[in-house]
Amino acid sequence: MNTPQGSAGAQAGERQAGGADPAFVIVTGMSGAGRSTAAKALEDLGWFVIDNLPPGLLFAMAEEAGKVKLAADKVAAVVDVRSLAFTTDLNAAIEELEGRGVRVRVVFLEASDEELVRRFENVRRPHPLQGEGRLVDGIARERGILREVRANADLVIDTSSHNVHDLRNKIVAYFGGEDRPGLRVNVVSFGFKYGLPVDADLVVDCRFLPNPHWVPELRPMNGLDAAVRDYVLGQPGAKEFLDAYEEVLRVVAAGYTREGKSYATLAVGCTGGKHRSVAMAEQVAGRLRDRGMEVQVSHRDVGRE
């Protein structure tokens, strides 16, 4: 497809030829999951953000951004489910943008049904797709409509356990330095008994290691304490696992980079998310940093017991 002279696609191509890596970011996801907070965080970082933009107008927005010479990696649109035929419209809009040479990145915000219900009840507002039904009916309908969008998203952020400050900090961590190259990795430890992190790209299980919970002097500590760390790393198989997983991540990270994936979440689990997963997550993060990757670490379930 030929791109009109002066359009966003042509200007994006010029930027890419110059070695930059521009991206038009689309923020979408479940109603109540934090889209407005994410948009405000991006604006505070100097991004040009349009809220509640119908998918059919995405290319027009990118084109106008190009005309006024806005940096392509500082333009974002917030799109929600209220647009009719949302999934079809959004997918078609993304295809058009990419066909014109604009690299698109989709950020999907989500939360558990229970948390979404609580948030809607707190603000005493109906769900936009609720109609005459119950709140949970609107949430279920929205999940169905957004299923394909979520599956194809570049970055999924689960805000179930995040307040507005946590989400803002995560957006700043991901988008505060778009000029820095390479894959950005979030390593999160968790407890299987509290459920899998829904935004994880890769999940590993550390329950093959002896549990420090059964060592009385270690039970009140967590994996950030030196005594627990040394105990976990001293177990048979711990170093072998880290060596093997580091090699797996080297291959995966190279593939993600080739496919244009900029962000990845690695989840490291044990039973309660307090001892083994915390210690091993810190080790995985350290090894990735040694490889030059940008890494942040969070420990979802520490303090839950």
- Residue 124 confidence (pLDDT): 83
Mean per-residue pLDDT, 176-187: 70
Q: Is 269 flagged in the annotation as binding?
A: no
Task: Tell me how far apart the alpha carbons of residues 119 and 162 are, in angstroms, rounded to a whole number.
Answer: 12
Q: How confident is the model at residue 182 (pLDDT cuts 50, 70, 90)?
A: low
Is the pLDDT confidence value at 123 over 60? Answer: yes
- Compute the average pLDDT of residues 67-83: 69
Question: What is the predicted pLDDT for the residue at 92?
Answer: 80
- Between 41 and 188, name the one with better pLDDT: 188
Q: Is 153 annotated as a binding residue?
A: no
Find out whether 250 is annotated in a ligand binding site: no
Q: Is 32 annotated as a binding residue?
A: yes
Percent of the chain with pLDDT over 70: 85
pLDDT of residue 263: 83
Q: pLDDT (tens digit, 9 = 90+) per residue, 256-266?
A: 887 767 789 99
Instruction: With cut-offs at 50, 70 and 90, classify the pLDDT of residue 207.
Output: very high
Q: Which residue has the tokens 């609720």?
A: 130
Fold adopted by 24-176: Rossmann fold (3.40.50)
pLDDT of 18 strictly over 70: no
33 is in an annotated binding site: yes
* 287 labeled part of a ligand binding site: no
**Best-predicted range by mean pLDDT (59-68, 75-84, 181-190, 229-238):** 229-238
Beta bridge partners of 156: 108
C-alpha 173/C-alpha 219 separation (Å) is 32
Instruction: Pick the more confident residue, 177 or 180.
Output: 177
Q: Can you tell me the distance from the alpha carbon of 206 to that of 208, in angstroms, rounded to the nearest whole number?
A: 5
Query: ∠288-293-294 over CA atoms, to 5°?
Result: 110
Span 162-170, average pLDDT: 85
31 is in an annotated binding site: yes
**Which residues, listed in sequence order, are joined to residue 270 by a DSSP beta bridge?**
191
pLDDT per residue as tens digits for the range 19-44: 334 468 899 999 999 999 999 888 88
- 277 annotated to bind ligand: no
Position 11 confidence tier, pLDDT thresholds 50, 70, 90 = very low
Phi, psi at 126, each rounded to 5°: -75, 160
CATH 3.40.50.300 domain locations along the chain: 24-176
Q: Determine the average pLDDT of the residues in 186-203.
A: 94
Would you say residue 7 has pLDDT above 50? no
